[in-house]
């Protein structure tokens, strides 16, 4: 034999890669284990352990390969057996095919016999159906009479017979067509439909009568529930027949559904019931439910629904099967109809009273024990889970409409009240007084009662609506007070244009009444703000109203006008102050005191704390005007006696003023800086005998009144008439150097006292003005 070259053994790349990885891992392991020479002593132990491990792996590999080979052998044996069986089956099929071909001629000879059999069955069916076919017309007429007389059960029994005959004939025709391998011809179908056309009309007539009975079930239940019971029995018969026909259709024979099936009359029953309920709401006239009639309409709905529910629970519920849950069905229908009806009502242009009636009915009456919260209905309501009668968005929209409607009314009433107030200011009599003797008009009473009543009514709906209503009222209050302040300004302008007008006789009185009104409105505003829940803060997107700030502005304006009037009444006597006739005769200080007494007496008709504020402002104004008269230098002392006399007269005037304003001391409301204390200080400054001590005196004066200026001190020095240029310069230099800052809470008084300009044409730039 000739030997050729040995073929090269194919080596897989995966094997080479695995071998390289194994060698690399072994080398890494060995380098870690034998990193030192003394570790080589355990080389034999490692070699023996690895040899044993390799032998174990080879043994397991051989066992696994052997089990795989045995499985492959068993599978090959199964495949050989299957091939043998397939050959046998193939031979049997060939033999059956040959025998079938041999019998084909015998089957063709039976075709004629089959046709004769089909014709025979058709003739038998025709003969058996002839009596029924002849009686169809009469039975249809009889059933029509039964329907018209509302003998519904008997009419339904006849109708079921007719439908049964029709279904049998159609089924027989369908079977005959199927036996010939064809479908029922359209001509046969039309023939049967035409012959039984009266049956379909009877179904419609019976359904019409049934739904008429169901629609009037509430009325029939109180008189004669028999027709309603008959209608329910017919509905249940039809439901049972629908189930049977659907089962036959899905069965083995696959019988087709008759025309008009399934009728689903039970679903129609509940639909008609809901339509009957909704008819009660559709019959409501739009005109009869507007204005005051809406509350009556909702009340009528409440009584009507509860009466119908009582009829359903106590009468109709016993006329239907338990699974109908007729009370729950009526609740659902009523709830849906009410939801639709109230949505329509809410879309109308309602007034505030109408919106209140709707909100109160929806939120309180509908779920109250007098209606759906009735103990016998609670379980039904929970099971049905009907949801809200009006959605949260709808309720919010209604509440916003209510607030806007109330706002319009409040704005109109406030405008009217303000117009009445302005007319009262022109009256030729004093304002009215309350039981405490304080001036007041009708304005705060009207406003307070209106806002409080609106808040109380809104609270009957809920705290959220009350908070919105109060918020709206505060906005309108702020607007009113702004207009009120503007009216006060205009009132003051008219008085200044013609102060002697007869209509201005009680000008001051009505200013004081306005201040008292503001105090009452402030208490009312604070009361409304306290009623608001804390959750309402920040709920509204608009800037929160600030009626208290508007009140403060109005009070300040009124007080300013009162002080202007006081100044106007004092003005005729102010030129005579601090003159030589005044020094000799003491006039016109008593006249000033009488004017002050008259004003202070009227200020007593103002509510605290504005009464004290007016008295303080009057005291401040008196001192300012008194010192301003001194600053005019109408009297300059010529000797020490005149300075002493001037100081004594000023102290006498100060004592008169203090006696007039003694009520402030009695009430403990003396301001921190009493303006009357300025007069003794100035008197001491004027009667000081030694001019060299003026520096010390001015230092004390500046410490008490840090807003005093060089001009004020210069005028005082001029009034003394004995101050040399050197002393004047040192005094003014000292004042310029000290100039202490104004302390916190200090009210400047000299800032209100203007010094008349000097009569000098000019001052030399190189010398200090004397």
DSSP at 539 = T
Residue whose entry in the numeric block shows the structure tokens 């309720």:
395
Q: How far apart are CA 768 and CA 762, in angstroms?
A: 12
The whole-number pLDDT of residue 196 equals 60
- Give the model confidence (pLDDT) of 92-147 as tens digits: 888 888 888 777 766 666 777 777 776 676 666 666 655 555 556 666 677 778 87
Is the omega angle on the peptide bond into residue 609 within 30 degrees of 0, that is, cis? yes
Q: Is the pLDDT of residue 2 over 60?
A: no
Q: Is the pLDDT of residue 767 over 50?
A: no
Q: Is the pLDDT of residue 77 over 60?
A: yes
Task: For the chain, give the longest Cα–Cα distance.
Answer: 174
**Strand 432-433 relative to strand 439-440: parallel, antiparallel, unpaired?**
antiparallel
- Give the model confidence (pLDDT) of 468-479 as tens digits: 999 999 999 999
- Stated as kind and residue range, the H or E segment containing 424 is helix 392-425
**How far from 601 is each of 611, 617, 697, CA to CA, in Å?**
10, 14, 38
Report the SS3 class of residue 439. Answer: strand
Best CATH choice for the domain 403-565 from the list 1.10.357.50, 1.10.10.10, 3.30.390.10, 1.10.760.10? 1.10.357.50
Q: How far apart are CA 638 and CA 722, in angstroms?
A: 8
Structure tokens of 69? 């080979």
Top pLDDT among 485 and 22 is at 485
Q: Is the pLDDT of residue 443 over 60?
A: yes
Q: Is the pLDDT of residue 659 over 70?
A: yes
The whole-number pLDDT of residue 3 equals 47
Residues in the chain, total: 770
The whole-number pLDDT of residue 11 equals 57
Residue among 410, 301, 408, 407 nearest 345 (CA): 301
Residue among 566, 430, 448 nearest 510 (CA): 430
**How far from 667 is each of 559, 602, 607, 671, 746, CA to CA, in Å?**
20, 17, 14, 11, 21
The whole-number pLDDT of residue 397 equals 92
Residue among 464, 475, 469 nearest 536 (CA): 464
Find out whether 162 and 136 touch, Cβ atoms under 8 Å.
Answer: yes
The whole-number pLDDT of residue 480 equals 94
Q: Which sequence spans correspond to the domains of the chain? A: 48-107+119-248, 265-390, 403-565, 572-687, 688-739
Q: Is the pLDDT of residue 764 over 60?
A: no
**How far from 550 is each of 443, 520, 543, 559, CA to CA, in Å?**
16, 14, 14, 14
The whole-number pLDDT of residue 761 equals 44
CA angle 110, 111, 116 (to 5 degrees): 100
432 pairs with which residues across the strands?
440
Residue whose entry in the numeric block shows the structure tokens 């011809």:
185
Top pLDDT among 172 and 65 is at 65
Highest average pLDDT, of 30-34, 498-502, 565-569, comes from: 565-569
Q: Which residues contact 463 (CB under 8 A, 6 or more apart)?
A: 533
280 burial (CB, 10 Å; 0-12 / 13-18 / 19+) is middle
Find out whether 150 and 227 touch, Cβ atoms under 8 Å.
Answer: yes
Q: How far apart are CA 617 and CA 596, in angstroms?
A: 12
409-418 core/surface letters (b: 16 or more CB in 10 A; e: else): ebeeebeebb
**pTM of structure:** 0.69
Helices (H), 542-661: 547-570, 580-585, 589-603, 610-631, 640-660
DSSP at 262 = -
Q: How far apart are CA 193 and CA 229, in angstroms?
A: 32
């Amino acid at each position: 034999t000739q030997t050729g070259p040995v073929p090269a053994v194919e080596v897989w790349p995966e094997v080479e890669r695995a071998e390289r990885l194994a060698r690399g891992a072994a080398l890494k392991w060995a380098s870690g284990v034998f990193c030192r020479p003394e570790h080589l002593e355990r080389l034999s132990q490692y070699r023996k352990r690895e040899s044993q491990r390799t032998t174990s792996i080879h043994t397991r590999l051989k066992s696994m390969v052997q089990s795989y080979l045995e499985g492959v052998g068993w599978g090959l044996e199964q495949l050989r057996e299957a091939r043998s069986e397939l050959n046998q089956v193939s031979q049997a099929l060939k033999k059956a095919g040959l025998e079938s071909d041999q019998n084909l001629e015998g089957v063709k000879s039976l075709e004629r016999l089959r046709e004769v059999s089909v014709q025979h069955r058709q003739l038998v069916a025709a003969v058996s159906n002839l009596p029924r076919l002849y009686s169809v017309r009469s039975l249809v007429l009889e059933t029509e009479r039964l329907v018209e007389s509302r003998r519904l059960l008997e009419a339904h029994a006849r109708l079921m017979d007719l439908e049964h005959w029709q279904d049998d004939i159609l089924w027989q025709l369908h079977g005959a067509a199927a036996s010939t391998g064809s479908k029922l011809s359209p001509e046969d179908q039309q023939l049967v439909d035409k012959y039984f056309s009266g049956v379909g009309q009877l179904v419609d007539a019976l359904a019409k009568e049934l739904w008429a009975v169901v629609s009037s079930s509430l009325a029939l239940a109180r008189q004669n529930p028999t027709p309603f019971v008959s209608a329910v029995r017919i509905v249940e018969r039809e439901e049972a027949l629908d189930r049977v026909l659907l089962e036959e259709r899905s069965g083995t024979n696959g019988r087709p559904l008759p025309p008009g099936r399934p009728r689903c009359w039970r679903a129609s029953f509940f639909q008609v019931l809901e339509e009957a309920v909704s008819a009660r709401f559709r019959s409501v006239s739009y005109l009869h439910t507007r204005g005051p009639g809406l509350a009556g309409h909702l009340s009528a709905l409440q009584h009507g629904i509860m009466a119908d529910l009582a009829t359903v629970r106590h009468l109709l519920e016993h006329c239907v099967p338990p699974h109908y849950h007729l009370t729950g069905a009526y609740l659902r229908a009523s709830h849906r109809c009410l939801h639709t009806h109230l949505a329509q009502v809410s879309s109308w242009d309602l007034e505030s009273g109408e919106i209140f009636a709707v909100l109160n009915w929806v939120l309180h009456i509908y779920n109250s024990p007098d209606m759906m919260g009735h103990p016998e209905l609670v379980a039904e309501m929970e099971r049905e889970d009907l949801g809200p009668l009006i959605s949260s968005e709808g309720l919010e929209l209604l509440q916003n409409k209510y607030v806007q409607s109330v706002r319009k009314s409040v704005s109109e009433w406030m405008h009217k009240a303000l117009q009445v107030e302005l007319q009262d200011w022109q009256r030729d009599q004093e304002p009215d007084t309350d039981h405490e003797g304080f001036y007041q008009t009708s304005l705060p009473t009207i406003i307070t009662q209106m806002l409080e009543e609106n808040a109380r009514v809104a609270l009957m709906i809920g705290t959220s609506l009350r908070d919105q209503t109060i918020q709206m009222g505060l906005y309108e209050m702020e607007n009113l007070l702004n207009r009120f302040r503007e009216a006060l300004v205009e009132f003051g302008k008219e008085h200044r244009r013609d102060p002697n007008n007869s209509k201005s006789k009680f000008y001051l009185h009505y200013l004081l009444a306005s201040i008292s009104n503001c105090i009452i409105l402030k208490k009312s505003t604070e009361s409304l703000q306290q009623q608001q829940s804390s959750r309402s803060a920040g709920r509204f997107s608009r800037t929160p109203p600030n009626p208290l700030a508007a009140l403060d502005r109005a009070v300040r304006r009124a007080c300013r006008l009162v002080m202007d009037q006081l100044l106007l009444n004092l003005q005729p006597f102010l030129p005579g102050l601090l003159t030589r006739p005044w020094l000799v005769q003491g006039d016109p200080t008593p006249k000033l005191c009488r004017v002050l007494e008259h004003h202070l007496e009227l200020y007593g008709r103002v509510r605290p704390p504005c009464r004290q504020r007016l008295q303080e402002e009057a005291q401040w104004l008196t001192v300012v005007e008194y010192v301003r008269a001194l600053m005019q230098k109408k009297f300059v002392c010529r000797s020490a006696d005149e300075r002493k006399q001037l100081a004594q007269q000023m102290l006498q005037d100060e004592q008169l003023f203090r006696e007039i304003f003694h009520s402030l001391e009695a009430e403990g409301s003396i301001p921190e800086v009493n303006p009357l204390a300025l007069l003794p200080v100035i008197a001491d400054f004027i009667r000081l005998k030694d001019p060299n001590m003026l520096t010390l005196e001015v230092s004390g004066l500046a410490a008490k009144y840090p807003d005093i200026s060089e001009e004020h001190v210069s005028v005082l020095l001029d009034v003394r008439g004995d101050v040399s240029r050197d002393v004047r310069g040192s005094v003014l230099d000292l004042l310029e150097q000290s100039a202490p800052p104004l302390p916190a809470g200090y009210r400047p008084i000299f800032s209100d006292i203007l010094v008349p300009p000097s009569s000098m044409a000019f001052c030399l730039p190189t010398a200090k003005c004397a």
